[in-house]
Amino acid sequence: MSTTSGKFLQSSLGKKLLMGLTGLFLVSFLIVHVSINACIYFNDGGATFNAAAHFMAHNPVIRVVEIGLFIGLILHAVQALMLTMQNNKARPVKYAVPAGNVSSKWYSRSMGILGSLLLLFLVVHLANFWVPTKQAVFNDMEHDTFAGLKEVFSKWYFVGVYMVGVISLGYHLLHGFQSAFQSLGLNHKKYTPMIKSFGFWFSIIITLLFASMPITMFLGLIK
């Protein structure tokens, strides 16, 4: 039998694997992020939160992981764009009557749109917090991230943008979490239902936790 050689990462399944792996890596970052966010609930004028933010901004290990995070994000987004273009080419003539929600969930078919919303949100989010923090570190100054939080989340339109970002994240995860395991080839009669229900609750809980921060600050519940 002839052996057709092809670069693994250029194959459809190689790309799927990369999407799944980078996706799960980005999920691990969300857990760290939401834990730091939760520090505001000590309600101590941001002392705990700022201490955690200071650690994240100065710890060398975190600095290295941050670079990995950006690489992961870029890989995930660029790959998704390439796959989407390829998939559009695979059906040049569309159906007059689309399938709708009969055989699949709307959010499973809308990962590109949800991901694009997330990316747009990230631009705003990084401009709000990441850039000022970096500027402070670069100029060797202390940065009061908590004060920044209060300022941003006192504006209703920022709270609105954050809600859109967080809800997009929730639906993106709702499909993406369990989908990543399938892409890695992990599908099992016993464990897949567990992964699916874990992914479901994980997506909902992380969405609520992220959403709670701008809302409680906007309402002035955090002193």
Residues near other proteins (CB under 8 A), total:
46
* Choice between 27 and 56, CB closer to other proteins: 27
Residues, the chain, total?
223
Stretches 38-46, 64-72, 177-185, 210-218: which one binds other proteins (CB under 8 A)?
A: 177-185
In this structure, the number of other CB atoms found within 10 A of the CB of residue 140 comes to: 6
Of positions 61, 70, 103, 141, contacts other proteins by CB under 8 A: 103
CA separation for the pair 198, 187 (Å, rounded): 14
Calculated CA dihedral for residues 20, 23, 29, 34, nearest 10 degrees: -120
For the CB of residue 115, give the shortest distance to other proteins in the complex, in Å. Answer: 11
DSSP 154: T
Contact track, other proteins, 53-92, x by CB under 8 A? ------------------------------x--xx-xxxx
Q: How many angstroms separate the Cα of 102 from the Cα of each of 98, 133, 134?
A: 10, 47, 48
Instruction: Quote the tokens at residue 210.
Output: 């992220």
Of positions 22, 50, 183, 207, contacts other proteins by CB under 8 A: 183
Site for other proteins, rule CB under 8 A: 1-6, 8, 11-17, 83, 86-87, 89-100, 102-105, 108-109, 111, 175, 178-179, 182-187, 189
